[in-house]
Structure 1
Amino acid sequence: MNDSKSSLTHEHSFLGSSHDENARRTRSVVALTFIMMVGEIVAGYVTGSMALLADGFHMATHAGALGIAVLAYGYAKRNTANRAYSFGTGKVGELAGFASALILALVSLGIAIESALRLIRPTNVEFGQATVIAAVGLLVNIVSAFMLSNGGGHHHHDHPHRGHDHHGHGHSADNNLRSAYVHVLADALTSILAIAALLAGRYLGWVWLDPVMGIVGSIVIARWAWTLMRDTAAVLLDKTDEHVADEIREILSSYRDTEIADLHVWQIGPEARAAIVSVRTRSDVSVQTIRDRLRPVHEVLHLTVEAAH
Protein backbone atom coordinates (compact mmCIF):
# COMPACT_ATOMS: atom_id res chain seq x y z
CA MET A 1 0.00 0.00 0.00
CA ASN A 2 1.43 3.35 -1.02
CA ASP A 3 0.39 6.81 0.15
CA SER A 4 2.48 8.94 -2.19
CA LYS A 5 0.26 11.92 -2.92
CA SER A 6 -0.08 13.09 -6.48
CA SER A 7 1.82 16.25 -7.40
CA LEU A 8 -1.50 17.59 -8.61
CA THR A 9 -2.92 17.69 -5.10
CA HIS A 10 -0.32 19.78 -3.29
CA GLU A 11 2.35 22.37 -3.90
CA HIS A 12 6.08 21.67 -3.97
CA SER A 13 7.27 25.04 -2.69
CA PHE A 14 10.14 24.40 -0.28
CA LEU A 15 11.88 27.78 -0.25
CA GLY A 16 13.23 29.02 3.08
CA SER A 17 10.99 31.23 5.20
CA SER A 18 13.48 34.11 4.77
CA HIS A 19 13.89 33.61 1.01
CA ASP A 20 12.60 37.03 -0.10
CA GLU A 21 14.39 38.90 2.68
CA ASN A 22 17.69 37.12 1.98
CA ALA A 23 17.30 37.86 -1.74
CA ARG A 24 16.78 41.56 -0.98
CA ARG A 25 19.86 41.67 1.27
CA THR A 26 22.00 39.98 -1.38
CA ARG A 27 20.80 42.35 -4.13
CA SER A 28 21.80 45.33 -1.97
CA VAL A 29 25.28 43.90 -1.39
CA VAL A 30 25.73 43.21 -5.12
CA ALA A 31 24.85 46.85 -5.87
CA LEU A 32 27.33 48.11 -3.26
CA THR A 33 30.08 45.76 -4.50
CA PHE A 34 29.46 46.74 -8.12
CA ILE A 35 29.67 50.48 -7.33
CA MET A 36 32.94 49.92 -5.41
CA MET A 37 34.30 47.80 -8.28
CA VAL A 38 33.52 50.42 -10.96
CA GLY A 39 34.94 53.20 -8.77
CA GLU A 40 38.23 51.36 -8.23
CA ILE A 41 38.67 50.41 -11.90
CA VAL A 42 37.93 53.97 -13.11
CA ALA A 43 40.23 55.47 -10.45
CA GLY A 44 42.91 52.95 -11.39
CA TYR A 45 42.85 54.02 -15.04
CA VAL A 46 42.79 57.73 -14.14
CA THR A 47 45.66 57.52 -11.63
CA GLY A 48 47.58 54.73 -13.36
CA SER A 49 47.52 52.73 -10.14
CA MET A 50 47.94 48.98 -10.69
CA ALA A 51 46.96 48.39 -7.07
CA LEU A 52 43.59 50.05 -7.63
CA LEU A 53 43.02 48.17 -10.89
CA ALA A 54 43.97 44.84 -9.34
CA ASP A 55 41.63 45.34 -6.38
CA GLY A 56 38.87 46.49 -8.73
CA PHE A 57 39.08 43.33 -10.84
CA HIS A 58 39.32 41.27 -7.64
CA MET A 59 36.06 42.89 -6.53
CA ALA A 60 34.61 41.93 -9.93
CA THR A 61 35.05 38.22 -9.14
CA HIS A 62 33.12 38.69 -5.90
CA ALA A 63 30.44 40.74 -7.65
CA GLY A 64 30.06 37.86 -10.11
CA ALA A 65 29.76 35.28 -7.34
CA LEU A 66 27.23 37.43 -5.47
CA GLY A 67 25.38 37.90 -8.74
CA ILE A 68 25.02 34.10 -9.01
CA ALA A 69 23.36 34.13 -5.58
CA VAL A 70 20.88 36.81 -6.69
CA LEU A 71 20.05 34.93 -9.90
CA ALA A 72 19.50 31.74 -7.88
CA TYR A 73 17.02 33.45 -5.54
CA GLY A 74 15.11 34.80 -8.53
CA TYR A 75 15.09 31.52 -10.44
CA ALA A 76 13.95 29.52 -7.41
CA LYS A 77 11.11 31.97 -6.75
CA ARG A 78 9.93 32.09 -10.37
CA ASN A 79 9.85 28.30 -10.71
CA THR A 80 8.26 27.26 -7.41
CA ALA A 81 5.12 26.13 -9.25
CA ASN A 82 7.00 24.55 -12.18
CA ARG A 83 5.95 20.88 -12.22
CA ALA A 84 9.12 19.97 -14.11
CA TYR A 85 10.90 20.04 -10.73
CA SER A 86 9.70 16.97 -8.83
CA PHE A 87 10.62 18.37 -5.42
CA GLY A 88 10.46 22.09 -6.16
CA THR A 89 13.34 24.54 -6.46
CA GLY A 90 14.43 24.60 -2.80
CA LYS A 91 17.91 23.32 -3.72
CA VAL A 92 18.71 25.95 -6.36
CA GLY A 93 20.50 27.92 -3.62
CA GLU A 94 22.72 24.91 -2.91
CA LEU A 95 23.70 24.76 -6.58
CA ALA A 96 24.53 28.47 -6.55
CA GLY A 97 26.44 28.04 -3.29
CA PHE A 98 28.51 25.21 -4.80
CA ALA A 99 29.32 27.30 -7.89
CA SER A 100 30.20 30.23 -5.65
CA ALA A 101 32.51 27.99 -3.58
CA LEU A 102 34.33 26.95 -6.75
CA ILE A 103 34.87 30.62 -7.65
CA LEU A 104 36.12 31.29 -4.12
CA ALA A 105 38.57 28.37 -4.42
CA LEU A 106 39.90 29.78 -7.72
CA VAL A 107 40.27 33.23 -6.13
CA SER A 108 42.28 31.72 -3.24
CA LEU A 109 44.48 29.86 -5.73
CA GLY A 110 45.08 33.06 -7.70
CA ILE A 111 46.02 34.97 -4.52
CA ALA A 112 48.40 32.16 -3.47
CA ILE A 113 50.17 32.06 -6.87
CA GLU A 114 50.49 35.86 -7.08
CA SER A 115 51.78 36.03 -3.49
CA ALA A 116 54.33 33.27 -4.10
CA LEU A 117 55.64 35.07 -7.22
CA ARG A 118 55.96 38.33 -5.29
CA LEU A 119 57.80 36.52 -2.51
CA ILE A 120 60.32 35.24 -5.07
CA ARG A 121 60.50 38.51 -7.03
CA PRO A 122 59.56 41.45 -4.78
CA THR A 123 57.90 44.43 -6.50
CA ASN A 124 57.72 48.07 -5.50
CA VAL A 125 54.60 48.81 -3.47
CA GLU A 126 53.00 52.25 -3.06
CA PHE A 127 52.31 51.66 0.62
CA GLY A 128 50.32 54.85 1.32
CA GLN A 129 47.98 54.58 -1.67
CA ALA A 130 47.51 50.81 -1.30
CA THR A 131 46.66 51.18 2.40
CA VAL A 132 43.89 53.68 1.60
CA ILE A 133 42.47 51.32 -1.05
CA ALA A 134 42.52 48.38 1.39
CA ALA A 135 40.86 50.50 4.10
CA VAL A 136 38.04 51.59 1.76
CA GLY A 137 37.59 47.97 0.63
CA LEU A 138 37.41 46.84 4.25
CA LEU A 139 34.77 49.47 5.04
CA VAL A 140 32.63 48.30 2.10
CA ASN A 141 32.96 44.68 3.26
CA ILE A 142 32.03 45.54 6.85
CA VAL A 143 28.89 47.30 5.60
CA SER A 144 28.11 44.34 3.30
CA ALA A 145 28.62 41.81 6.11
CA PHE A 146 26.30 43.83 8.35
CA MET A 147 23.66 43.85 5.60
CA LEU A 148 23.85 40.05 5.29
CA SER A 149 24.41 39.21 8.96
CA ASN A 150 20.78 39.00 10.08
CA GLY A 151 19.77 36.52 7.38
CA GLY A 152 20.94 33.43 9.22
CA GLY A 153 23.33 32.26 6.56
CA HIS A 154 26.54 32.54 8.59
CA HIS A 155 25.90 30.49 11.69
CA HIS A 156 26.78 27.10 10.30
CA HIS A 157 30.24 27.15 8.76
CA ASP A 158 31.07 23.59 9.77
CA HIS A 159 27.97 21.96 11.24
CA PRO A 160 24.81 23.19 9.54
CA HIS A 161 22.57 20.82 11.52
CA ARG A 162 24.10 21.26 14.95
CA GLY A 163 21.60 22.46 17.51
CA HIS A 164 18.78 20.35 16.08
CA ASP A 165 15.88 20.18 18.48
CA HIS A 166 14.65 16.62 18.93
CA HIS A 167 11.07 17.83 18.95
CA GLY A 168 11.19 18.86 15.33
CA HIS A 169 12.33 22.45 15.43
CA GLY A 170 15.64 21.88 13.64
CA HIS A 171 17.06 24.52 11.37
CA SER A 172 19.45 24.73 8.43
CA ALA A 173 21.47 27.46 6.85
CA ASP A 174 20.46 29.13 3.63
CA ASN A 175 23.66 28.12 1.83
CA ASN A 176 23.02 30.63 -0.94
CA LEU A 177 23.09 33.50 1.58
CA ARG A 178 25.97 31.80 3.36
CA SER A 179 28.01 31.74 0.14
CA ALA A 180 27.45 35.49 -0.31
CA TYR A 181 28.45 36.08 3.32
CA VAL A 182 31.62 33.97 2.95
CA HIS A 183 32.65 35.95 -0.14
CA VAL A 184 32.25 39.18 1.81
CA LEU A 185 34.23 37.72 4.74
CA ALA A 186 36.98 36.55 2.38
CA ASP A 187 37.28 40.05 0.93
CA ALA A 188 37.31 41.58 4.43
CA LEU A 189 40.03 39.13 5.52
CA THR A 190 42.26 39.99 2.56
CA SER A 191 41.76 43.70 3.31
CA ILE A 192 42.70 43.27 7.00
CA LEU A 193 45.79 41.19 6.18
CA ALA A 194 46.78 43.67 3.46
CA ILE A 195 46.47 46.66 5.82
CA ALA A 196 48.62 44.91 8.45
CA ALA A 197 51.25 43.96 5.87
CA LEU A 198 51.28 47.41 4.22
CA LEU A 199 51.69 49.22 7.55
CA ALA A 200 54.53 46.84 8.50
CA GLY A 201 56.15 47.42 5.10
CA ARG A 202 55.82 51.18 5.34
CA TYR A 203 57.04 51.67 8.91
CA LEU A 204 59.21 48.59 9.59
CA GLY A 205 60.50 47.85 6.11
CA TRP A 206 59.04 44.34 6.13
CA VAL A 207 58.29 44.20 2.40
CA TRP A 208 58.20 40.37 2.56
CA LEU A 209 55.17 40.44 4.90
CA ASP A 210 52.78 41.51 2.12
CA PRO A 211 53.10 38.29 0.04
CA VAL A 212 53.27 36.16 3.20
CA MET A 213 49.95 37.62 4.38
CA GLY A 214 48.58 36.91 0.91
CA ILE A 215 49.49 33.22 1.27
CA VAL A 216 47.95 33.07 4.77
CA GLY A 217 44.76 34.67 3.47
CA SER A 218 44.57 32.25 0.54
CA ILE A 219 44.79 29.26 2.89
CA VAL A 220 41.96 30.56 5.10
CA ILE A 221 39.79 31.37 2.06
CA ALA A 222 40.49 27.91 0.59
CA ARG A 223 39.26 26.33 3.82
CA TRP A 224 36.05 28.39 3.73
CA ALA A 225 35.56 27.38 0.09
CA TRP A 226 36.05 23.70 0.96
CA THR A 227 33.55 23.68 3.86
CA LEU A 228 30.97 25.49 1.72
CA MET A 229 31.58 23.08 -1.16
CA ARG A 230 31.32 20.06 1.16
CA ASP A 231 28.03 21.18 2.74
CA THR A 232 26.33 22.20 -0.51
CA ALA A 233 27.49 19.02 -2.29
CA ALA A 234 25.98 16.92 0.51
CA VAL A 235 22.57 18.49 -0.13
CA LEU A 236 22.89 18.26 -3.93
CA LEU A 237 23.73 14.56 -3.64
CA ASP A 238 20.74 13.93 -1.32
CA LYS A 239 22.87 12.95 1.66
CA THR A 240 20.74 11.45 4.43
CA ASP A 241 19.74 13.90 7.16
CA GLU A 242 20.65 11.62 10.06
CA HIS A 243 19.08 13.85 12.73
CA VAL A 244 15.63 13.69 11.15
CA ALA A 245 16.08 10.01 10.19
CA ASP A 246 16.94 9.17 13.82
CA GLU A 247 13.86 11.02 15.01
CA ILE A 248 11.66 9.00 12.64
CA ARG A 249 13.30 5.74 13.75
CA GLU A 250 12.82 6.63 17.42
CA ILE A 251 9.13 7.47 16.97
CA LEU A 252 8.26 4.36 14.95
CA SER A 253 10.35 1.97 17.08
CA SER A 254 8.28 2.99 20.11
CA TYR A 255 5.31 1.15 18.51
CA ARG A 256 5.54 -2.65 18.67
CA ASP A 257 3.19 -3.07 15.72
CA THR A 258 5.54 -1.34 13.26
CA GLU A 259 8.99 -2.21 11.86
CA ILE A 260 10.95 0.00 9.45
CA ALA A 261 11.92 -1.84 6.27
CA ASP A 262 13.50 1.11 4.43
CA LEU A 263 14.01 4.80 5.17
CA HIS A 264 15.20 7.74 3.07
CA VAL A 265 15.41 11.32 4.38
CA TRP A 266 16.98 14.16 2.41
CA GLN A 267 16.94 17.95 2.18
CA ILE A 268 14.75 19.62 -0.46
CA GLY A 269 14.98 23.20 0.82
CA PRO A 270 16.75 25.25 3.53
CA GLU A 271 14.10 24.26 6.10
CA ALA A 272 12.42 21.31 4.35
CA ARG A 273 13.06 17.57 4.20
CA ALA A 274 11.48 14.80 2.15
CA ALA A 275 11.12 11.26 3.48
CA ILE A 276 10.19 7.87 2.09
CA VAL A 277 9.25 5.49 4.90
CA SER A 278 8.65 1.80 4.15
CA VAL A 279 7.26 -0.21 7.06
CA ARG A 280 6.06 -3.71 7.86
CA THR A 281 3.06 -3.56 10.16
CA ARG A 282 -0.09 -5.32 11.35
CA SER A 283 -3.09 -5.25 9.03
CA ASP A 284 -5.06 -3.02 11.39
CA VAL A 285 -2.43 -0.24 11.17
CA SER A 286 -3.15 2.00 8.19
CA VAL A 287 -0.82 4.26 6.20
CA GLN A 288 -2.67 7.25 7.65
CA THR A 289 -1.88 5.98 11.15
CA ILE A 290 1.84 5.97 10.29
CA ARG A 291 1.55 9.49 8.88
CA ASP A 292 -0.18 10.67 12.05
CA ARG A 293 2.57 9.16 14.20
CA LEU A 294 5.20 11.06 12.20
CA ARG A 295 3.36 14.38 12.36
CA PRO A 296 5.68 15.76 15.13
CA VAL A 297 8.62 15.63 12.69
CA HIS A 298 7.98 19.15 11.39
CA GLU A 299 10.99 19.28 9.06
CA VAL A 300 9.47 16.62 6.78
CA LEU A 301 7.24 18.56 4.37
CA HIS A 302 6.99 15.82 1.74
CA LEU A 303 6.25 12.38 3.21
CA THR A 304 5.70 9.14 1.31
CA VAL A 305 4.64 6.11 3.37
CA GLU A 306 4.71 2.53 2.07
CA ALA A 307 3.18 -0.18 4.26
CA ALA A 308 3.35 -3.96 3.88
CA HIS A 309 1.24 -6.21 6.10
Structure 2
Amino acid sequence: MSAPFTQSPPGGFRIITADQRLAERRGIKGVLAGGSGIGKTSQLWTLDAASTLFVNLEAGELAVQGWPGDEVRVRDWDLARDLACWIGGPNPAMRDDQPYGAAHFARVCAAFGAPSALAKYATVFVDSITVASRLCLQWCKGQPQAVSDRSGKPDLRGAYGLLGQEMIAWVTHLQHTPDKNVWLVGILDKKLDDFNRPYFALQIEGTKTGLELPGVVDELITMAELRTEDGRPYRAFVCTTLNPYGYLAKDRSGRLDTVEEPHLGRLMEKIRRPLPGPRLDFAPPPAPAPAAATDTTPDATQEG
Protein backbone atom coordinates (compact mmCIF):
# COMPACT_ATOMS: atom_id res chain seq x y z
CA MET A 1 0.00 0.00 0.00
CA SER A 2 1.10 3.55 -0.61
CA ALA A 3 2.86 6.01 1.65
CA PRO A 4 2.45 9.80 1.44
CA PHE A 5 5.10 12.07 0.01
CA THR A 6 5.28 14.16 3.22
CA GLN A 7 6.51 11.65 5.77
CA SER A 8 8.80 13.98 7.76
CA PRO A 9 9.15 17.70 8.43
CA PRO A 10 10.86 19.68 5.65
CA GLY A 11 14.57 19.05 5.87
CA GLY A 12 14.03 16.74 8.83
CA PHE A 13 14.36 13.06 9.51
CA ARG A 14 12.41 10.74 11.75
CA ILE A 15 12.08 7.03 12.28
CA ILE A 16 8.53 5.70 12.05
CA THR A 17 8.02 3.20 14.84
CA ALA A 18 6.30 -0.14 14.31
CA ASP A 19 3.24 1.01 16.30
CA GLN A 20 2.95 4.18 14.23
CA ARG A 21 3.33 2.27 10.97
CA LEU A 22 0.74 -0.34 11.94
CA ALA A 23 -1.69 2.37 13.05
CA GLU A 24 -1.55 4.16 9.68
CA ARG A 25 -4.46 3.63 7.33
CA ARG A 26 -3.07 3.67 3.82
CA GLY A 27 -4.95 3.65 0.58
CA ILE A 28 -5.03 0.78 -1.89
CA LYS A 29 -3.69 1.69 -5.32
CA GLY A 30 -4.60 -0.62 -8.18
CA VAL A 31 -5.32 -1.15 -11.84
CA LEU A 32 -8.54 -2.85 -12.93
CA ALA A 33 -8.00 -4.27 -16.42
CA GLY A 34 -10.33 -6.13 -18.71
CA GLY A 35 -11.69 -6.42 -22.19
CA SER A 36 -14.01 -3.82 -23.62
CA GLY A 37 -17.57 -4.32 -22.36
CA ILE A 38 -16.68 -6.77 -19.57
CA GLY A 39 -18.14 -4.43 -16.92
CA LYS A 40 -15.18 -2.48 -15.50
CA THR A 41 -16.94 0.88 -15.21
CA SER A 42 -19.95 -0.83 -13.63
CA GLN A 43 -17.74 -1.65 -10.63
CA LEU A 44 -18.66 1.84 -9.44
CA TRP A 45 -21.93 0.30 -8.26
CA THR A 46 -19.98 -1.85 -5.78
CA LEU A 47 -18.40 1.21 -4.10
CA ASP A 48 -19.88 3.56 -1.54
CA ALA A 49 -21.20 6.43 -3.64
CA ALA A 50 -20.94 8.99 -0.83
CA SER A 51 -17.18 8.45 -0.43
CA THR A 52 -16.19 7.79 -4.08
CA LEU A 53 -15.02 10.35 -6.65
CA PHE A 54 -15.49 9.26 -10.28
CA VAL A 55 -12.81 10.78 -12.54
CA ASN A 56 -14.37 10.39 -15.97
CA LEU A 57 -11.97 10.61 -18.91
CA GLU A 58 -13.75 8.17 -21.20
CA ALA A 59 -17.24 9.74 -21.43
CA GLY A 60 -18.57 6.20 -20.98
CA GLU A 61 -20.84 6.80 -18.02
CA LEU A 62 -23.88 5.24 -19.71
CA ALA A 63 -23.06 2.02 -17.83
CA VAL A 64 -23.40 3.88 -14.52
CA GLN A 65 -26.27 6.18 -15.43
CA GLY A 66 -28.10 6.87 -12.20
CA TRP A 67 -25.07 6.20 -9.97
CA PRO A 68 -25.52 8.74 -7.14
CA GLY A 69 -21.84 9.67 -6.61
CA ASP A 70 -19.75 12.74 -7.48
CA GLU A 71 -17.97 13.02 -10.83
CA VAL A 72 -15.16 15.07 -12.40
CA ARG A 73 -14.91 15.19 -16.19
CA VAL A 74 -11.42 15.46 -17.68
CA ARG A 75 -10.87 16.21 -21.35
CA ASP A 76 -7.22 17.36 -21.53
CA TRP A 77 -3.88 16.40 -20.01
CA ASP A 78 -3.32 19.70 -18.19
CA LEU A 79 -6.48 19.12 -16.14
CA ALA A 80 -5.55 15.46 -15.53
CA ARG A 81 -2.16 16.51 -14.17
CA ASP A 82 -3.61 19.34 -12.05
CA LEU A 83 -6.20 16.99 -10.58
CA ALA A 84 -3.52 14.42 -9.64
CA CYS A 85 -1.51 17.17 -7.93
CA TRP A 86 -4.58 18.37 -6.02
CA ILE A 87 -5.43 14.83 -4.88
CA GLY A 88 -1.88 13.72 -4.05
CA GLY A 89 -0.49 16.93 -2.57
CA PRO A 90 2.95 18.44 -3.27
CA ASN A 91 5.97 16.24 -3.87
CA PRO A 92 8.94 17.76 -1.95
CA ALA A 93 11.38 16.09 -4.36
CA MET A 94 10.20 18.34 -7.20
CA ARG A 95 11.50 21.83 -7.90
CA ASP A 96 9.14 24.77 -8.14
CA ASP A 97 9.41 24.73 -11.92
CA GLN A 98 8.42 21.04 -12.15
CA PRO A 99 4.97 19.44 -12.14
CA TYR A 100 3.68 18.19 -8.77
CA GLY A 101 6.02 20.50 -6.84
CA ALA A 102 5.01 23.01 -4.18
CA ALA A 103 4.43 25.81 -6.71
CA HIS A 104 2.22 23.57 -8.86
CA PHE A 105 0.22 22.52 -5.81
CA ALA A 106 -0.25 26.14 -4.70
CA ARG A 107 -1.48 27.13 -8.16
CA VAL A 108 -3.91 24.20 -8.29
CA CYS A 109 -5.28 24.98 -4.82
CA ALA A 110 -5.85 28.58 -5.90
CA ALA A 111 -7.89 27.32 -8.87
CA PHE A 112 -9.70 24.33 -7.33
CA GLY A 113 -9.93 25.35 -3.68
CA ALA A 114 -8.48 23.86 -0.51
CA PRO A 115 -7.71 20.12 -0.67
CA SER A 116 -9.93 19.68 2.37
CA ALA A 117 -12.78 19.46 -0.14
CA LEU A 118 -11.49 15.96 -0.95
CA ALA A 119 -11.68 14.77 2.67
CA LYS A 120 -15.07 13.13 2.09
CA TYR A 121 -13.68 10.78 -0.55
CA ALA A 122 -12.08 7.48 0.42
CA THR A 123 -11.79 6.16 -3.16
CA VAL A 124 -10.88 7.79 -6.47
CA PHE A 125 -12.04 5.77 -9.49
CA VAL A 126 -10.27 6.83 -12.71
CA ASP A 127 -11.83 5.65 -15.97
CA SER A 128 -9.65 5.16 -17.85
CA ILE A 129 -5.86 5.11 -17.99
CA THR A 130 -6.19 4.09 -21.65
CA VAL A 131 -7.81 7.44 -22.50
CA ALA A 132 -5.41 9.27 -20.18
CA SER A 133 -2.49 8.01 -22.26
CA ARG A 134 -4.13 9.29 -25.45
CA LEU A 135 -4.69 12.74 -23.92
CA CYS A 136 -1.09 12.72 -22.71
CA LEU A 137 0.27 11.78 -26.15
CA GLN A 138 -1.71 14.59 -27.77
CA TRP A 139 -0.22 17.04 -25.26
CA CYS A 140 3.29 15.64 -25.75
CA LYS A 141 3.13 16.18 -29.51
CA GLY A 142 2.85 19.92 -28.89
CA GLN A 143 5.89 20.16 -26.61
CA PRO A 144 9.43 21.25 -27.67
CA GLN A 145 10.74 17.72 -27.05
CA ALA A 146 8.53 16.50 -29.91
CA VAL A 147 10.25 18.74 -32.47
CA SER A 148 13.60 17.87 -34.07
CA ASP A 149 16.35 20.42 -33.33
CA ARG A 150 17.94 19.81 -36.73
CA SER A 151 15.00 19.81 -39.12
CA GLY A 152 12.30 21.50 -37.08
CA LYS A 153 9.91 18.70 -38.02
CA PRO A 154 7.84 16.61 -35.60
CA ASP A 155 9.88 13.95 -33.80
CA LEU A 156 7.68 11.03 -32.72
CA ARG A 157 10.51 9.43 -30.75
CA GLY A 158 10.76 12.55 -28.62
CA ALA A 159 6.98 12.65 -28.17
CA TYR A 160 6.80 9.02 -27.05
CA GLY A 161 9.79 9.46 -24.75
CA LEU A 162 8.04 12.38 -23.06
CA LEU A 163 4.82 10.35 -22.96
CA GLY A 164 6.47 7.63 -20.89
CA GLN A 165 7.91 10.14 -18.43
CA GLU A 166 4.63 12.01 -18.03
CA MET A 167 2.46 8.91 -17.55
CA ILE A 168 4.76 7.29 -14.99
CA ALA A 169 5.06 10.57 -13.07
CA TRP A 170 1.26 10.90 -13.07
CA VAL A 171 0.67 7.34 -11.85
CA THR A 172 3.45 7.57 -9.25
CA HIS A 173 1.97 10.76 -7.83
CA LEU A 174 -1.42 9.12 -7.46
CA GLN A 175 0.29 6.09 -5.90
CA HIS A 176 1.57 8.29 -3.07
CA THR A 177 -1.83 9.78 -2.27
CA PRO A 178 -2.21 9.34 1.49
CA ASP A 179 -5.20 7.45 2.94
CA LYS A 180 -7.16 7.23 -0.34
CA ASN A 181 -7.86 4.27 -2.57
CA VAL A 182 -7.07 4.97 -6.22
CA TRP A 183 -8.23 2.60 -8.95
CA LEU A 184 -7.18 3.08 -12.56
CA VAL A 185 -9.36 1.32 -15.12
CA GLY A 186 -7.68 0.08 -18.31
CA ILE A 187 -8.58 -1.92 -21.41
CA LEU A 188 -6.82 -5.27 -21.79
CA ASP A 189 -5.82 -6.47 -25.25
CA LYS A 190 -5.09 -10.00 -26.39
CA LYS A 191 -2.13 -10.08 -28.77
CA LEU A 192 0.14 -12.57 -30.52
CA ASP A 193 3.93 -12.62 -30.21
CA ASP A 194 6.42 -13.41 -32.97
CA PHE A 195 5.82 -17.13 -32.45
CA ASN A 196 2.03 -16.73 -32.73
CA ARG A 197 1.56 -17.31 -29.00
CA PRO A 198 -1.21 -15.30 -27.30
CA TYR A 199 -0.47 -12.87 -24.46
CA PHE A 200 -2.26 -10.00 -22.73
CA ALA A 201 -1.20 -6.36 -22.52
CA LEU A 202 -2.74 -3.12 -21.31
CA GLN A 203 -4.03 -0.84 -24.05
CA ILE A 204 -1.83 2.20 -23.36
CA GLU A 205 -0.06 4.50 -25.80
CA GLY A 206 3.67 3.78 -25.88
CA THR A 207 5.46 0.86 -24.23
CA LYS A 208 7.12 2.41 -21.17
CA THR A 209 3.92 2.91 -19.18
CA GLY A 210 2.58 -0.58 -19.84
CA LEU A 211 5.88 -2.16 -18.81
CA GLU A 212 6.44 -0.12 -15.63
CA LEU A 213 2.88 0.31 -14.38
CA PRO A 214 2.60 -3.14 -12.71
CA GLY A 215 5.64 -2.30 -10.59
CA VAL A 216 4.13 0.97 -9.39
CA VAL A 217 0.67 -0.03 -8.19
CA ASP A 218 -0.23 -2.36 -5.32
CA GLU A 219 -2.83 -4.42 -7.15
CA LEU A 220 -3.29 -5.40 -10.77
CA ILE A 221 -6.63 -7.12 -11.22
CA THR A 222 -7.97 -8.54 -14.47
CA MET A 223 -11.72 -8.79 -14.83
CA ALA A 224 -12.23 -11.70 -17.21
CA GLU A 225 -14.73 -14.15 -18.53
CA LEU A 226 -13.97 -17.62 -17.19
CA ARG A 227 -15.84 -20.86 -17.70
CA THR A 228 -17.05 -23.58 -15.41
CA GLU A 229 -16.16 -27.22 -15.99
CA ASP A 230 -19.35 -27.68 -17.99
CA GLY A 231 -18.57 -24.66 -20.19
CA ARG A 232 -20.87 -22.01 -18.67
CA PRO A 233 -19.30 -18.49 -18.74
CA TYR A 234 -19.03 -16.25 -15.69
CA ARG A 235 -17.19 -13.06 -14.76
CA ALA A 236 -14.43 -13.06 -12.16
CA PHE A 237 -11.40 -11.18 -10.91
CA VAL A 238 -8.04 -12.82 -11.61
CA CYS A 239 -5.76 -11.50 -8.87
CA THR A 240 -2.42 -13.33 -8.61
CA THR A 241 0.61 -13.38 -10.88
CA LEU A 242 0.70 -17.17 -10.94
CA ASN A 243 -2.61 -17.94 -12.63
CA PRO A 244 -3.45 -20.64 -15.19
CA TYR A 245 -5.10 -18.19 -17.61
CA GLY A 246 -2.10 -16.04 -18.52
CA TYR A 247 -3.83 -12.81 -17.47
CA LEU A 248 -1.97 -9.81 -16.09
CA ALA A 249 -2.35 -9.85 -12.30
CA LYS A 250 -0.52 -8.91 -9.14
CA ASP A 251 -1.42 -8.89 -5.45
CA ARG A 252 0.96 -7.02 -3.17
CA SER A 253 -1.23 -7.64 -0.11
CA GLY A 254 -0.89 -11.42 -0.15
CA ARG A 255 -4.53 -11.77 0.91
CA LEU A 256 -6.27 -12.55 -2.38
CA ASP A 257 -6.98 -15.88 -4.02
CA THR A 258 -6.26 -16.46 -7.68
CA VAL A 259 -9.94 -16.02 -8.57
CA GLU A 260 -12.16 -13.64 -6.61
CA GLU A 261 -15.75 -12.46 -6.81
CA PRO A 262 -16.06 -9.52 -9.26
CA HIS A 263 -16.99 -7.01 -6.56
CA LEU A 264 -14.44 -4.23 -6.03
CA GLY A 265 -15.90 -3.10 -2.72
CA ARG A 266 -15.65 -6.53 -1.11
CA LEU A 267 -12.22 -7.06 -2.70
CA MET A 268 -10.85 -4.02 -0.84
CA GLU A 269 -12.42 -5.25 2.39
CA LYS A 270 -10.57 -8.55 1.98
CA ILE A 271 -7.27 -6.77 1.27
CA ARG A 272 -7.60 -4.89 4.58
CA ARG A 273 -8.24 -7.99 6.67
CA PRO A 274 -5.44 -9.25 8.95
CA LEU A 275 -3.30 -11.93 7.40
CA PRO A 276 -4.18 -15.40 8.77
CA GLY A 277 -0.63 -16.65 8.25
CA PRO A 278 2.57 -16.19 6.22
CA ARG A 279 2.22 -13.96 3.16
CA LEU A 280 3.85 -16.36 0.72
CA ASP A 281 4.44 -20.07 0.55
CA PHE A 282 7.76 -20.78 -1.11
CA ALA A 283 7.40 -24.57 -0.89
CA PRO A 284 7.25 -26.30 -4.27
CA PRO A 285 4.07 -28.16 -5.15
CA PRO A 286 3.99 -31.82 -4.14
CA ALA A 287 5.45 -34.22 -6.65
CA PRO A 288 2.92 -36.30 -8.58
CA ALA A 289 2.37 -39.82 -7.33
CA PRO A 290 4.38 -42.42 -9.26
CA ALA A 291 2.45 -44.35 -11.84
CA ALA A 292 1.48 -47.87 -10.88
CA ALA A 293 3.96 -50.45 -12.13
CA THR A 294 2.70 -52.65 -14.92
CA ASP A 295 3.35 -56.38 -14.99
CA THR A 296 5.49 -57.14 -18.04
CA THR A 297 5.78 -60.91 -17.30
CA PRO A 298 4.55 -62.92 -20.31
CA ASP A 299 1.29 -64.76 -19.78
CA ALA A 300 1.81 -68.47 -19.28
CA THR A 301 -0.86 -69.25 -21.82
CA GLN A 302 1.11 -67.37 -24.48
CA GLU A 303 4.38 -69.25 -23.87
CA GLY A 304 5.65 -71.84 -26.26
Shorter-chain TM-score bucket reads under 0.3
Instruction: Compare the two structures and name the one with the higher helix fraction.
Output: 1
Normalised to the residue count of structure 2, the TM-score between the two structures is 0.27
Instruction: Compare the two structures and name the one with the higher strand fraction.
Output: 2
